[in-house]
Chains A and B, each alone.
Chain A
Amino acid sequence: MPFIANTDEQRREMLEQTGLSAEDLFADIPPELRAESLDLPIGMNEQQVSGHLEKLAEKNHARLVSFLGGGFYDHFIPAAVPALASRGEFATAYTPYQPELAQGTLQAMYEFQSAVCRLTGMEVSNASLYDGGTAMYEAMMMALRITRRNRVVIDETVNPIYRVMIESYTRNLSIDLEQTCCGEGQVSRERIFELIDENTGAVILQNPNFFGIIDDFHDIAEYAHERGALLIVSVYPISLGLHKPPGEMGADIVCGEGQSLGLPLSFGGPYLGFIAGRKKHVRKMPGRIIGETVDTDQRRSFVMTLQPREQHIRRDKATSNICSNESLCALQAVIYLSLMGKQGLAETAELCADKASYAYSRLTSIPGVEPHFHAKWFFNEFVLDLPEPAAEVIGRLIEKGLAAGFPLSRYYRGMENSILISLTEKRTKEEIGYLAEALEGALEGSQAGGSR
Chain B
Amino acid sequence: MSGGGMNEAKLIFEKSVEGRRATQKTPSDVGHSVNLNPDYLREAPPELPELSELDVVRHFTELSTRNFGVDTGFYPLGSCTMKYNPKVTERIAALPDFAGLHPLLPQLRLGGMLTQGALEVIWRTDLLLRELTGMAGFTMQPLAGAHGELTGIMIMAAYHRDRGNSKTTVLVPDSAHGTNPASAAIAGYDVVSVPSDENGLMDLDALREQVDDRTAGVMLTSPNTLGLFNPRVKEICDLIHSVDGIAYYDGANMNAIVGRARPGDFGFDIVHLNLHKTFATPHGGGGPGSGPVGVVEGLLPFLPVSLVVKREDGTLALEYDRPKSIGYIAPFYGNFGIVLRAYVYLLMLGRDGFLGVSENAVLNANYLRTKLKDVYRQAYDRLCKHEFVISPSKAMEEKGIRAVDIAKALIDRGFHPPTVYFPTIVRESMMIEPVETESKETLDDFAEAMLEIARLAKEQPEVLTGAPRSTSVRRPDETKAAKELNIASL
Does B440 make an interface contact (CB < 8 A)? Answer: yes
What does the 1/0 interface line of B307-341 toward A look like (CB < 8 Å)?
00000000000000000001111111111111010
A244 touches B30 (CB 8 A): no
Contact B25 A356 (CB under 8 A): no
Contact of A356 among B35, B231, B347, B484 (CB under 8 A): B35
> Which residues on B sit within 8 Å (CB–CB) of A147?
none
Chain A residues 220-274 with CB under 8 Å of chain B are: 240-245, 248, 264-271
Residues of A within 8 A of B12 (CB): 111, 334, 338
Question: A93 and B101: CB pair below 8 A?
Answer: no
Q: How far is the CA of A28 from the CA of B177 in the complex (A)?
A: 22
A437 beta carbon closer than 8 Å to chain B: no
B residues 87-111 in Cβ contact with A at 8 Å: 88, 90-105, 107-111
A residues in contact with B383, CB < 8 Å? 20, 24-25, 27-28
Q: Are B485 and A406 in contact (CB under 8 A)?
A: no
Q: Known contacts A35-B262, A165-B330, A318-B178: does B48 contact A341 (CB below 8 Å)?
A: yes
Question: Does A2 interact with chain B (Cβ within 8 Å)?
Answer: yes
B472 vs chain A, min Cβ distance (A): 6
Contact call B71/A169, Cβ cutoff below 8 A: no
Inter-chain contact A345/B474, CB cutoff 8 Å: no
Contact of A108 with B60 in the complex, beta carbons under 8 Å: yes
Closest A residue to B471 by CB, please name it: A100
Contact pattern, A 273-289, Cβ under 8 Å of B = 1, otherwise 0: 00000010010000011
Instruction: Report if A326 contacts B (CB, 8 A).
Output: yes
B485 touches A291 (CB 8 A): yes
The answer to whether A74 touches B100 (Cβ under 8 A) is: yes
Complex Cα distance, B439 from A354, in Å, reads 57
Kindly state whether residue B64 has any CB partner on chain A within 8 Å.
Answer: yes
Number of A-B residue pairs having CB atoms within 8 Å of each other in the complex:
716
Given known contacts A328-B288, A357-B32, A70 and B104 CB-to-CB distance under 8 angstroms: yes
Q: How far is the CA of A351 from the CA of B23 in the complex (A)?
A: 14
Q: How far is the CA of A294 from the CA of B481 in the complex (A)?
A: 8
A428: min CB distance to chain B, Å: 6
Task: Give bound CA distance, A98 to B48, whole Å.
Answer: 29
Q: Of B34, B327, B357, B488, which contacts A168 at CB under 8 A? A: B327
Q: Which residue of A lies closest to B190 (CB)?
A: A316
Q: How far, in angstroms, from A245 to B48 measured CA to CA in the complex? A: 14
Inter-chain CA distance A106–B179, complex, in Å, is: 22
User: Is B88 in contact with A49, judged by CB distance below 8 angstroms?
Assistant: yes
Say which residue of A1, A33, A326, A341 sits within 8 Å of B49 (CB atoms). Answer: A341
Residue A358 is within 8 A (CB to CB) of chain B in the complex: yes
Query: Which single member of B48, B288, B422 contacts A342 (CB below 8 Å)?
Result: B48
A302 at the A/B interface (Cβ < 8 Å)? Answer: yes
Question: Is A320 a contact partner of B115 (Cβ separation < 8 A)?
Answer: no
**Per-residue contact bits, chain B 371-390, to A (CB 8 Å; 1 contact, 0 not):** 10000000000010100000
Q: A355 — which chain B residues lie within 8 A by C-beta?
A: 28, 30
Q: Which of A71, A269, A321, A340 contacts B186 (CB 8 A)?
A: A321
Decide: A72 and B328 in contact? CB cutoff 8 A.
Answer: no
A321 touching B150 by the CB < 8 A rule? yes
Judge whether B63 and A342 touch: CB under 8 Å: no
User: Which residues of A have CB within 8 Å of B371?
Assistant: 17
* A297 sits at the interface (CB 8 A): yes
Q: How many chain-B residues does the 8 Å CB contact rule pick out?
A: 205
**B97 in contact with A41 (CB, 8 Å):** no
Question: A339 to B51, alpha carbons, bound, how many Å?
Answer: 7
Tell me the minimal C-beta distance from B246 to chain A in angstroms: 14
Please, which residues of chain A bring their CB within 8 A of the CB of B93? 266
Of all chain A residues, the one with the shortest Cβ separation from B151 is A168
Of A66, A293, A391, which contacts B478 at CB under 8 A?
Answer: A293
Q: Is the CB of B331 within 8 A of A132?
A: yes
B69 and A90 form a contact (CB under 8 A): yes
Q: Determine whether the beta carbon of B111 is less than 8 Å from that of A100.
A: no
Are the CB atoms of B287 and A326 closer together than 8 Å? Answer: yes
Give the CA-CA distance A169 to B191 in the complex, in Å: 18
A189 in the interface, Cβ–Cβ < 8 Å? no
Q: Is A161 on the interface with B (CB-CB < 8 A)?
A: yes
Complex CA gap A242/B42 in Å reads 6
Do B48 and A94 touch across chains, with their CB atoms under 8 A apart? no
How far is it, in angstroms, between the C-alpha of A288 and the C-alpha of B187 when the chains are bound?
20
**Chain B, residue nearest A285 (CB):** B487
Does A39 have its Cβ within 8 Å of any Cβ on chain B? yes
User: In the bound complex, do residue B288 and residue A329 qualify as a contact, i.e. CB atoms below 8 Å apart?
Assistant: yes
Most A CB atoms within 10 A — which of B143, B331, B358? Answer: B331
Which of chain B's residues 474-490 have a Cβ closer than 8 Å to chain A?
474-478, 480-482, 484-490
| B25 contact from A244, A302, A347, Cβ within 8 A | A347
A80 engages B57 (CB within 8 Å): yes
B114 touches A398 (CB 8 A): yes
Which B residues lie within 8 Å of A269 (CB)? 103, 143, 288, 330, 332-338
| Chain A, 87-101, CB within 8 A of any chain B CB | 87-101
Q: What is the bound-complex CA distance between A302 and B181, given in angstroms?
A: 29
Interface residues of A in 10-69 (CB under 8 A from B): 10-11, 13-15, 17-20, 22, 24-30, 33-35, 37-46, 49-50, 52-64, 66, 68
Residue A296 lies at the interface, judged by CB distance under 8 Å to chain B: yes
With A49-B88, A169-B329, A347-B26 in contact, is A266–B478 under 8 Å at CB? no
- Chain A positions within 8 Å of B31 at CB level: 354, 357-358
Task: Say how far A106's CB is from chain B's closest CB, in angstroms.
Answer: 9
Say yes or no: A214 contacts B37, CB within 8 Å.
yes
Pairwise interchain contact B363-A25, C-beta atoms closer than 8 A: yes
Q: A325 interface residue, CB < 8 Å from B?
A: yes
B253 on interface, CB distance cutoff 8 Å = no
Query: A208: nearest residue on chain B (CB-CB)?
Result: B40
B327–A33 contact, CB under 8 A? no
CB nearest neighbor in A for B338: A270
Task: Select which of A82, A133, A303 is within 8 A of B94 by beta carbon.
Answer: A82
Question: Which of A26, A297, A320, A392 meets B260, CB within 8 Å?
Answer: A26
A87 and B68 CA atoms in complex are apart in Å by: 11
Q: Which of B349-378 contact A (CB under 8 A)?
A: 349-354, 356-360, 362-364, 366-367, 369-371
Interface centre among A93, A131, A243, A292 (most CB of B within 10 A): A93
* A295: contacting residue among B286, B326, B476, CB under 8 A: B476
With A95-B286, A133-B331, A339-B23 as contacts: A295 and B485 at CB distance below 8 Å: no
Is A264 in contact with B143, judged by CB distance below 8 angstroms? no
* Interface: A353 (CB within 8 A): yes
Q: How far is the CA of A17 from the CA of B188 in the complex (A)?
A: 49
- Indicate whether A168 sits within 8 Å of B328 (C-beta atoms), given known contacts A44-B347, A46-B348, A350-B33: yes
Q: What is the chain B residue whose CB lies nearest that of A306? A: B482
Nearest 3 CB-CB pairings of A with B: A268-B332, A88-B71, A43-B350
Contacts A2-B356, A270-B335 known; 7 new A-B pairs at CB < 8 A: A43-B349, A53-B340, A72-B331, A78-B22, A270-B143, A293-B477, A425-B26
19 contacts between A and B (CB under 8 A): A10-B440, A14-B364, A30-B234, A87-B60, A95-B285, A98-B407, A101-B416, A110-B488, A124-B487, A124-B488, A269-B338, A313-B178, A320-B182, A324-B289, A327-B287, A328-B288, A341-B22, A354-B31, A356-B33
